[in-house]
Structure 1
Amino acid sequence: MKFTRTLVSLAALVAVGFSASAWSQTKTIYVGMNGGPMEKAYTSQVLPDFEKANNVKVVVVPGTSSDVLAKLLANRNSPQMHVVFLDDGVMARAVNMGVCEKLDDSPVLKELYPFARMKGDVGAGVQLGMTGIGYNTKLFADKGWAPPTSWLDFANPKYKGKVVFQSASSSTFGLHGFLAINRLMGGSETNVEPGFTKWASTVGPNVVEYIPNSAKLSEMIQTGEAGLFPLTPTAVGDLKDKGLPVAYANPKEGAVLLLVDLCVVKNNPDPQLAQKLAQFLLSAPAQSKAAAAGKQIPTNQNATMPPDMQKSLGNLDQLVKKVTVVDWDVINERRAQWDSRWNRQIEQ
């Protein structure tokens, strides 16, 4: 009996020893990012390269940008995530709340489009987006309509009842669309009066429905309800992959820049490894794989895109010269007031 207990104890010690050895050899690092196509692209094609090269396990914590930021704030004294991806508007809030660490100086930062580097390198764009015009190609063909070319097409009476607009109070796409149209009406981020006062006589009559986000678009495109809507090339690509008849049109006035930024979380458990992961994710090889796996448009100028993406987007270097860059600090300062007014005045 005593001999048996000794063997059992020995076996337990050996097991603990192997477990401790395995634990010491493989670290785990956590990344917060959007779920769905983005998570699938990174977990299947991008992150495995970093895992192999560094003998580390990378675990994605999926959620919207707002969800990820909420988790950061809830655990800001002992954060569980090492690196986070946030939409640029949410990232501006995260930086102001002090949850991001300055990126280490690295040659990869110089490879990014200049607008992708945040002030003070406290974060950087990892995916380039631009909110332009998505449209239903089957509906347009059936009606004999030429593809849209301008933000002001949303106010064209011929599209009455065929415009779907995401809520500017809950969607970046909707907010971008509103700000772009407001700008063409003489406004700016510091003056949204033209957009609000003229909406009811311009875009408003064409809108069949305001939706809180883009989740309902698939259904509305299939039924022919949605003809025209603010969207990014990547989101349009995701819809096309589902077999939906959609295309992206770049407005002649320029699309609105939409970045997915990354930052290294302040006070994270392994700052050195987190910085290393951030540099890897910003690199040309990583972004080239993200483009091939999930149509993620690179912010690294040395990255490549598959031929179908290049054909769909055209010359990316030329496109980014025309994008409109919004001031998120100004927007976030006024956002609550705008949201209240949008809900009360536009979607009443």
Structure 2
Amino acid sequence: MPHPIPCAAALAVAALFATPAVQAQDAGQLNVICSVQAEWCNMIQTVFTKTTGVKVNMSLKGSGEALAQLIAERANPKTDVWFGGTGDPHLQAAEQGLSLDYKSPSLPQLHAWAQQQAEQSKFRTVGIYSGPLGFGYNTELIAKKKLPIPKTWADLLNPAFKGEIQVANPASSGTAYTMVATLVQLMGEEKAFEYMKALHRNISQYTRSGTGPIKAAARGETTVSISFVHDGPGEAMQGFPIATITPADGTGAEIGSMSLIDGARNLANAKRFYDWALTAGAQEMGAAAKQFQLPSNKAAKVDPRVPDFKKIKFIPYDYAKYGSSTERKRLIARWEKDVNSLPR
């Protein structure tokens, strides 16, 4: 289990919120699946409880695992809110009727991309942060091995990178599925699969989790990772020699999302948490927990370590199409058959 954040830090963050704390037994409880990093999950759990008195039961799960749990619990939901993780599984939960439509009063305060996520899901999910896909690289290994810094998708096909790159498996990772969907939209499907077959020769390992490759690059276990670049600064803050770059020829971004679960047992508290999580103050906790996505609330202070979206070339990513169950299943099945089955 993750360690709770130190009491002093939690109290300092709690002081940011004016709502007086009430007795936990009076305020009831809330069951949350949290699909962001442990430190962020712990912080929102501590602060929401201290400022409202609601007892938060927090379960940490990757977005793919979270969706599987919600499907398994469909007849008897045990979860009230699903917080964070890539938007595709949230859109699938919405499509399958697992989440509840809800228009938060905070909705007008959000960036257009977050409001669009809500509209596309018929208000069954909402964007809470965004982060671009790119490359992480170990600065010491790149220099030691005299390798070029990859600046485009094509650069990763350089034979010098054979065995030097890690990316997650799109069947288990939202990060890697974002890569597949990005390449298909950037190059066209046939060229994208030819590209991924060529890239396969340079991949040393497909990890289960999306953050695995950048953590491996930070620790010198691989030279390059394909990752969300907002995961780089937190590793650098721990003293690891990691830098990030976004491909000059275009990239996609995740929209991390939040959903209320249909059949939630603690619906009033779930809505209270949902509204709170969309406020600027609550969203600024991401950076306080060393997570550097762009918050969806326009009034949230943006940490200087958050990637500058104005300097990144983004593709017009079709979240509705690539977030649908049928398209995701089809592309992952094709990746397994055409790419993952090949020898390296």
TM interval, short-chain normalised: 0.7 to 0.9
Correspondence for 1:197:
194
**d(CA) in 1 for partners of 2:247 and 2:195?**
20
**d(CA) in 2 for partners of 1:286 and 1:213?**
26
**d(CA) in 2 for partners of 1:333 and 1:112?**
29
**d(CA) in 2 for partners of 1:211 and 1:75?**
27
Range with bigger deviation, 96-105 or 170-179: 170-179
> Any gaps of 5 or more consecutive residues in structure 2?
1-22
Change (3 A) 1:323 1:30: farther
**d(CA) in 2 for partners of 1:332 and 1:259?**
17
Contact 1:132 1:249 in 2 (8 A): yes
**d(CA) in 1 for partners of 2:302 and 2:24?**
37
The CA deviation at 1:324 is 4.4
Q: Deviations 1:208-260 (Å, cap 9, x if unpaired)?
A: 33334346537853775522221012322343345432111122233311122
Correspondence for 2:66:
68
Answer with 1 or 2: which has the greater Rg.
Answer: 1
The CA deviation at 1:33 is 1.0
**d(CA) in 1 for partners of 2:257 and 2:210?**
20
Change (3 A) 1:328 1:228: farther
Correspondence for 1:7:
none
Change (3 A) 1:57 1:180: same
Contact 1:101 1:264 in 2 (8 A): yes
Correspondence for 2:314:
322
Correspondence for 2:337:
344
User: Which has the larger share of helix?
Assistant: 1
Change (3 A) 1:254 1:103: farther
**d(CA) in 2 for partners of 1:23 and 1:174?**
40
Contact 1:133 1:151 in 2 (8 A): no
Listed as ranges, the matches of 1:126-165 within 5 Å are 126-165=128-167
Change (3 A) 1:59 1:134: same
**d(CA) in 2 for partners of 1:347 and 1:97?**
28
The CA RMSD measured in Å over matched residues stands at 2.8
Name the % identity: 22
**d(CA) in 1 for partners of 2:26 and 2:125?**
29
Correspondence for 2:290:
294
Would you say 1:278 and 2:274 are equivalent positions?
Answer: yes
> Any gaps of 5 or more consecutive residues in structure 1?
1-21
**d(CA) in 1 for partners of 2:303 and 2:194?**
43
Contact 2:64 2:174 in 1 (8 A): no
Change (3 A) 1:222 1:273: closer
**d(CA) in 2 for partners of 1:289 and 1:222?**
24
**d(CA) in 2 for partners of 1:245 and 1:262?**
32
Listed as ranges, the matches of 1:20-35 within 5 Å are 25-34=26-35
So what's the TM-score if we normalise by structure 1?
A: 0.78
Listed as ranges, the matches of 1:225-244 within 5 Å are 226-244=222-240
Would you say 1:102 and 2:101 are equivalent positions?
Answer: yes
Contact 1:221 1:244 in 2 (8 A): no
So what's the TM-score if we normalise by structure 2?
A: 0.79
**d(CA) in 2 for partners of 1:123 and 1:336?**
20
Aligned partner (choices 303, 325, 332) of residue 300 of structure 2: 303
**d(CA) in 1 for partners of 2:48 and 2:227?**
31
Q: Deviations 1:33-52 (Å, cap 9, x if unpaired)?
A: 126xx2322323x3433323
Contact 1:255 1:324 in 2 (8 A): no
Aligned residues: 312
**d(CA) in 1 for partners of 2:313 and 2:336?**
34
The CA deviation at 1:286 is 0.5
